[in-house]
C-alpha cells in the first residue's frame, strides 16, 4: 500500500533509530569536508604549476647576445649601416627552435596530470606560438629589415646614384614654383629657360646614367624638365624615402570602390534659359544615360523674391520638388528618353548688378561625403569667387572645371574695367589652381587658365537636329523650306553683340539697302538698343524674345551673330543644326563652327556685307550624318569624357586620379618602375594648397567680401533658405561662440 510520504512505523521503533540517523549525517559531512579540502589542495597545486610555467625562463639571452654582437660589428665599421645578414644568421640559429621543442616535450609529458583549465591555457598559448613560427625565416627577416630601414643612413643602391648637387636642387625648386611665379606675373618661358640653363651643366654628368640606353634615347626629344624629374625621383628612391601626401590635404576622401558617382554643380537652373542652366542639365542626362556611374545635378535654389527677378513671366516655385518636376519635364520632352539622375539644390542669391546667382554658404556641404567622388564645376571661377568652405580637391577624388563665360570681356566694358579685369584675372587663376584638377575651356575666347584644355563639350538640343532633318527631307522632295530672310536672337544687352550689330548696320546702311533683319530678344538694355536703331534709321525689326525652337523661326534661312563676347554661342550651334546659314565674326569663339560649310565668317565690316549677300543669294547645304553627330550631345559627351580624362578615372587609371599628380609613370630602371611623385613632393600641390588657404581666410571676412562686390550675407545661408530647403537654422549650422 502506498504511504504517500507518511511514516507508518510504530512510535517506539521510530524513536529508537534516532542515534543511528545522527551518526550517518555526521559521517556524510566529514566526507564532504575531506573532499573540499582535497579539491582546494589540488587547486593550489595547479595554480603553483601555472605560476611556475609562466615564470619559466626562456633561452633567449643567447639570441640577444648575437644581435648585440651583430650591431656592434656594424657600428664599429666605417659605414653606419646595420649588418642585416648577421641578424638573419642570429634568427636562423637552432638554439631558439631547440629550446622551444624541449619545452613542448616537457609539456606533453605532464599534460595528462595537469588540471583542465591550465591545460586549456597552455594549449592556446602553444597554438599562438606555432602560428607565429609558421612564417618562414625569410619573411620574418623581410619584416625586420623594413622596420629597421629607417635606422640606416647608407641604404642599398646608394653606390649607384650620386647625390643631388645645388644646381639640380635649385632647378627643381624653380620648376616646381612655376604656379607661384605665374601668380607674380613671371612667364613660364622664363622659368623653363632658367631650368634648362641650370640643368645643361649636368646633362652629360654620370649621374644621369641611371637610365638605360633605350630610355635615354627616347627622352632626347623631351624637355629637360622630364629628365630632371627622373633624376630627382631616382635620387630620392635610392634613399628609401616615400612621399605620403600633400602638405595641405587632409587625405580623407570617399571610397572609390563600387559604382562611381559624378556630381555636376552649376550656377543657374531652369526656367532661366541661360547656358549654365541648360547645358549642365543635358550633360547630366547623357552622362547618366550610360548607367556606368551615378549622377547628381546640383543647382541653386532662390527664394521667391529672387525667383520673381530671374525667372521669365514672374514664374515662381514654392518648393524644390516643384522646380525639379518642371526641370525633368522640360528635359525629357527634348531628349526623348527617361532621365535617371538625382537633382539637389544649394542656397543661392541673385545679384542684380552682375545679373548672376552667387552661392550662399559652403556649396560642397550639400553633396554627401559618401557621394563625393568626382565633381564637375560648371563655371568654376564663378562658383569659387566667394567660396568659404571645404576645398573641392580635398573632398573629391577628381575635380573638373568647365569654363562657360569670358568674364574679362564683360568686365572691361564696365567703368574702371581695366583695373577690375586685372584683379579678376588673377583671382580666376587662383581659384582654378586651388580648386580643380582639370579645366576645360569651350573655346579660345576664354581666359587662359592653369591646367586647362580647349574643347567644345556642349551639344545641341535634339529637337534642333530633328528640325534640320525635316527641312532636308522637304528640300529633297522639292518643297520650299526657307520662306524668310535673316534674323538674330539673343538676350538684349549691349554685351551680347548688339553694339557690334548696330555699328555694322550704321556703317553699311546704304550697302545693305533693302535688307531687313528681324531681332528677337528681351533684356535690360532693350529700350536703349531700340532707341539707337531708330535714331540711325536702321532696317532692324525688334520682336519679343522666344525659344529658338519655336515654329515661327524655322522658316528663316540666315542667322546673323556679330557677338565677340560669347565663349561658344549656343544659338549659332542650334542654327547650324537646323540647316541654316550662319554669318559670324572670325573670332576664337567660332573656331568649332568653321568646319561646317554653312558657317560664313568675316574679318572686316566689308566682309560682313559680302557674307550676308552670299547667304541670301543661295541655299545652304544639307548636313552630313557626321556633321549632325558632331553637333549632338552624344558626341559632346564623348569629347568631354576624353578631354577631361573622366574615362580614365572611371576605369581606375591611377595616372589620371587627382589630375594626374599621383603615380605618373616616367620610365624604368633595371626593371623597376620609376614614379615621380612616389618619392618627390609636388611643389605645385603645396602652392595650390597655400593659395586655397589664403582664399579661405580672405573669404571668411565679411568686410573683405563686401569690398570686392559680394552680395551681403552670402557667406552663410539665411533663415529663408533653411526653411525652403529644410536645413538646420543658420545659428545652428554656424554658431557664434562668445562670453
For 298-349, the pLDDT digits (tens) are: 999 999 999 999 998 889 999 999 999 999 999 999 988 888 899 999 999 9
> Which band of pLDDT confidence, cut at 50, 70 and 90, is reported for residue 17?
very low
For 511-521, the pLDDT digits (tens) are: 888 889 999 99
Question: Angle at which helices 166-176 and 224-238 pack, to 10 degrees?
Answer: 120
pLDDT higher at 675 or 264: 264
Give the whole-angstrom CA distance, residue 590 versus residue 613: 20
E strand or H helix at 92: none
Give the whole-angstrom CA distance, residue 716 versus residue 696: 14
Query: What are the angstrom distances between the C-alpha of 684 and each of 177, 434, 729?
Result: 6, 10, 39
Beta strands in 199-337 (DSSP E): 260-265, 293-301
Omega within 30 of 0 (cis) for the link into 531? no
For 189-202, the pLDDT digits (tens) are: 777 777 777 776 55
Closest by CA to 264, choosing from 93, 457, 29, 119, is 457
pLDDT at 216: 42
Task: Label residue 699 exposed, middle or buried (CB < 10 Å: 0-12, 13-18, 19+).
Answer: buried
Give the whole-angstrom CA distance, residue 41 versus residue 37: 6
Residue whose entry in the numeric block shows the C-alpha cell 591646367 = 451
Cell of 233: 625621383
pLDDT at 398: 92
> Which band of pLDDT confidence, cut at 50, 70 and 90, is reported for residue 292?
confident
For 365-389, the pLDDT digits (tens) are: 999 988 899 999 999 999 999 999 8
Which domains are assigned to the chain?
A: 261-459+687-725 (3.40.50), 462-631 (3.40.50.2000)
pLDDT at 155: 42
Cell of 189: 618661358
pTM of this structure:
0.66
Query: Which region, left, alpha or beta, applies to residue 409 given φ > 0 means left and ψ of -120 to 50 means alpha?
Result: alpha
Cell of 57: 625562463
Return the percent helix, strand and coil in the chain, to nearest 5: 55, 10, 35
Q: How many CB atoms lie within 10 A of CB 706?
A: 13
DSSP β-ladder status, 556-561 and 581-585: parallel
Closest by CA to 568, choosing from 257, 145, 275, is 275
Closest by CA to 497, choosing from 486, 507, 505, 485, is 505
Q: How many CB atoms lie within 10 A of CB 395?
A: 21
Average pLDDT over residues 660-672: 38
Q: What is the DSSP letter of 256?
A: -
Q: What DSSP string runs through 364-428?
A: GGGS-GGG-SEEEEESHHHHHTT--SS-HHHH-SEEEEEE---HHHHHHTSTTHHHHHHHHHHHH
Average pLDDT over residues 542-562: 91
Amino acid at each position: 500500500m502506498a504511504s504517500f510520504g507518511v511514516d507508518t512505523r510504530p512510535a517506539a521503533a521510530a524513536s529508537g533509530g534516532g542515534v543511528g540517523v545522527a551518526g550517518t549525517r555526521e559521517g556524510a559531512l566529514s566526507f564532504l569536508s575531506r573532499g573540499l579540502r582535497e579539491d582546494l589542495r589540488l587547486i593550489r597545486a595547479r595554480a603553483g604549476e601555472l605560476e611556475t610555467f609562466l615564470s619559466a625562463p626562456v633561452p633567449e639571452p643567447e639570441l640577444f647576445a648575437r644581435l648585440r654582437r651583430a650591431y656592434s660589428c656594424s657600428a664599429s665599421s666605417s659605414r653606419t649601416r646595420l649588418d642585416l645578414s648577421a641578424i638573419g644568421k642570429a634568427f636562423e640559429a637552432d638554439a631558439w627552435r631547440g629550446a622551444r621543442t624541449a619545452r613542448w616535450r616537457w609539456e606533453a609529458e605532464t599534460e595528462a596530470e595537469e588540471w583542465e583549465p591550465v591545460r586549456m591555457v597552455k594549449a592556446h598559448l602553444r597554438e599562438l606560438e606555432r602560428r607565429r613560427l609558421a612564417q618562414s625565416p625569410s619573411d620574418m627577416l623581410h619584416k625586420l629589415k623594413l622596420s629597421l630601414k629607417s635606422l640606416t643612413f647608407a641604404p642599398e643602391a646608394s653606390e649607384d646614384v650620386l647625390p643631388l648637387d645645388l644646381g639640380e636642387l635649385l632647378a627643381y625648386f624653380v620648376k616646381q614654383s612655376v604656379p607661384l611665379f605665374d601668380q607674380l606675373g613671371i612667364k613660364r618661358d622664363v622659368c623653363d629657360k632658367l631650368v634648362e640653363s641650370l640643368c645643361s651643366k649636368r646633362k652629360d654628368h654620370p649621374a644621369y646614367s641611371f637610365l638605360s640606353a633605350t630610355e635615354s634615347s627616347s627622352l632626347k626629344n623631351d624637355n629637360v624638365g622630364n629628365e630632371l624629374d627622373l633624376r630627382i625621383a631616382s635620387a630620392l628612391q635610392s634613399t628609401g624615402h616615400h612621399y605620403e601626401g600633400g602638405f595641405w590635404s587632409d587625405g580623407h576622401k570617399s571610397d572609390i570602390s563600387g559604382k562611381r558617382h559624378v556630381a555636376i554643380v552649376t550656377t543657374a537652373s531652369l526656367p532661366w534659359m541661360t547656358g549654365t542652366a541648360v547645358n549642365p542639365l543635358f550633360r547630366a542626362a547623357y552622362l547618366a544615360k550610360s548607367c556606368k556611374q551615378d549622377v547628381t545635378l546640383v543647382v541653386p535654389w532662390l527664394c521667391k523674391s529672387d525667383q520673381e527677378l530671374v525667372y521669365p513671366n514672374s514664374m515662381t516655385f514654392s518648393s524644390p520638388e516643384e522646380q525639379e518636376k518642371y526641370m525633368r519635364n522640360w528635359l525629357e520632352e527634348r531628349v526623348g528618353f527617361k532621365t535617371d539622375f538625382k537633382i539637389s539644390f544649394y542656397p543661392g542669391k541673385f545679384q542684380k548688378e552682375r545679373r548672376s546667382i552667387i552661392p550662399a554658404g559652403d556649396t560642397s556641404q550639400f553633396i554627401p561625403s559618401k557621394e563625393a567622388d568626382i565633381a564637375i564645376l560648371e563655371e568654376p571661377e564663378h562658383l569659387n569667387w566667394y567660396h568659404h568652405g571645404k576645398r573641392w580637391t580635398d573632398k573629391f577624388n577628381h575635380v573638373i572645371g568647365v569654363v562657360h563665360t569670358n568674364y574679362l570681356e564683360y568686365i572691361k566694358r564696365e567703368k574702371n574695367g581695366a583695373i577690375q579685369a586685372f584683379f579678376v584675372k588673377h583671382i580666376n587663376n587662383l581659384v582654378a589652381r586651388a580648386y580643380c584638377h582639370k579645366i576645360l575651356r569651350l573655346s579660345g575666347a576664354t581666359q587662359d587658365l592653369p591646367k586647362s584644355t580647349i574643347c567644345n563639350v556642349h551639344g545641341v538640343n535634339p529637337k534642333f537636329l530633328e528640325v534640320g532633318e525635316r527641312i532636308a527631307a522637304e528640300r529633297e522632295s522639292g518643297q520650299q523650306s526657307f520662306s524668310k530672310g535673316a534674323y538674330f536672337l539673343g538676350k538684349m544687352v549691349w554685351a551680347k553683340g548688339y553694339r557690334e550689330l548696330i555699328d555694322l548696320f550704321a556703317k553699311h546702311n546704304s550697302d545693305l539697302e533693302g535688307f531687313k533683319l528681324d531681332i528677337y530678344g528681351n533684356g535690360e538694355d532693350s529700350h536703349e538698343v531700340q532707341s539707337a536703331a531708330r535714331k540711325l534709321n536702321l532696317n532692324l525689326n525688334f520682336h519679343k524674345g522666344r525659344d529658338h525652337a519655336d515654329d515661327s523661326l524655322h522658316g528663316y534661312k540666315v542667322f546673323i551673330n556679330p557677338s565677340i563676347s560669347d565663349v561658344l554661342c549656343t544659338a549659332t550651334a542650334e542654327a547650324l543644326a537646323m540647316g541654316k546659314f550662319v554669318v559670324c565674326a572670325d573670332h576664337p569663339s567660332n573656331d568649332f563652327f568653321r568646319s561646317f560649310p554653312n558657317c560664313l565668317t568675316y574679318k572686316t565690316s566689308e566682309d560682313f556685307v559680302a557674307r550676308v549677300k552670299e547667304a541670301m543669294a543661295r541655299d545652304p547645304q544639307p548636313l552630313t550624318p557626321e556633321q549632325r553627330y558632331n553637333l549632338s550631345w552624344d558626341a559632346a559627351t564623348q569629347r568631354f569624357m576624353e578631354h577631361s580624362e573622366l574615362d580614365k578615372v572611371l576605369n581606375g587609371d591611377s595616372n589620371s586620379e587627382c589630375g594626374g599628380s599621383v603615380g605618373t609613370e616616367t620610365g624604368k630602371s633595371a626593371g623597376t618602375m620609376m614614379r615621380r611623385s612616389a618619392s618627390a613632393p609636388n611643389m605645385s600641390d603645396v602652392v595650390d594648397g597655400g593659395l586655397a588657404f589664403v582664399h579661405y581666410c580672405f573669404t571668411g571676412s565679411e568686410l573683405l567680401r563686401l569690398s570686392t562686390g559680394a552680395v551681403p550675407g552670402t557667406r552663410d545661408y539665411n533663415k529663408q533658405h533653411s526653411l525652403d530647403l529644410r536645413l538646420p537654422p543658420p545659428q545652428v549650422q554656424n554658431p557664434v561662440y562668445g562670453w
